[in-house]
Amino acid sequence: MIKGPDITDEIKVLVSKLHESHPKWTNKKIRLEVQKIKHREDETLAEKYPKWPSTFSIDRIMADVKKRKRLRQLTRDLRDNPWTIQSLAKYPIPRDALPSVLEAWFLVQSLKPDIKQIPSVTIRQSQWVARLYTVIKDTRTLLTYSMGMADLEKQAEDAGLDYYGSQWDTLEIFSQMAGRQFTDKEKREITGLSGHYVTRVGLEEAKLHMKEMRK
């Protein structure tokens, strides 16, 4: 049997993302979805490695993801609690970032009279606001990207990764700072990646959530 490409961190996070979005999907269904996504991004994969990733690889990843997800549910990460000004005592942010975090918090809170079930900004999301505020000035856009990055961070933790990063993510943030839109061809050339499903879906979900908030 021809050995396929190595299982990358992106594949692990993608599996975690799919399981989070579709908890009732079987390992087989998730494997087929990963294949479809990766083959769509890189047609040569379908030709060279039509059965990649293997059932064994996905089963192994899923066992770890489910274990870590159960652990997260049993011992809730305090960073996923609503952010308040008092939370700064335990989870400080740079002093200069506080106005941007407050703006993002108020944007969500101001919608609560109309959207009763809307969740408050979490500590984890506020931390990302504090990291990105100097390069993304628009509050709504800043919150959208911070939500997406916070979600990716959680998926990476469920996948057992201490750190997850991609040149594709970095280019997404740079494009916001520079006010420049890149074509798919430029993104592939700059990042050296054929695509980045995880980031794309994470940001699409965040944008959809923000769209729902505006209604």
Render the chain in DSSP notation, one character per residue.
--------HHHHHHHHHHHHH-TT--HHHHHHHHHHHHHHH-HHHHHH-TTPSPHHHHHHHHHHHHHHHHHHHHS--GGGSBP-GGGGGTS---GGGHHHHHHHHHHHHTTTTT-TTPPPPBHHHHHHHHHHTTT--SHHHHHHHHHHHHHHHHHHHHTT-S----HHHHHHHHHHHHT----HHHHHHHH--S--HHHHHHHHHHHHHHHHHH-
Q: What is the pLDDT, as a whole number, of residue 46? A: 79
| Cα 8–Cα 9–Cα 13 angle in degrees, nearest 5 | 125
pLDDT at residue number 198: 61
Is the dihedral angle over the CA atoms 207, 208, 212, 215 positive or is it negative?
Answer: positive
Q: pLDDT tens, 24-60?
A: 999 999 999 999 888 887 778 878 888 889 999 999 9
Quick: pLDDT tens for 52-98: 899 999 999 999 999 988 888 788 889 999 999 999 999 999 999 99
The string over 60-87, giving b where at least 16 C-beta atoms fall within 10 Å of a residue's C-beta and e elsewhere, is bbbebbeeebeeeeeeeeebeeebeeeb
- Stretch 135-148: mean pLDDT, rounded? 94
* Weakest mean pLDDT among 6-15, 140-149, 202-211: 202-211
Q: Is residue 118's pLDDT more than 70?
A: yes
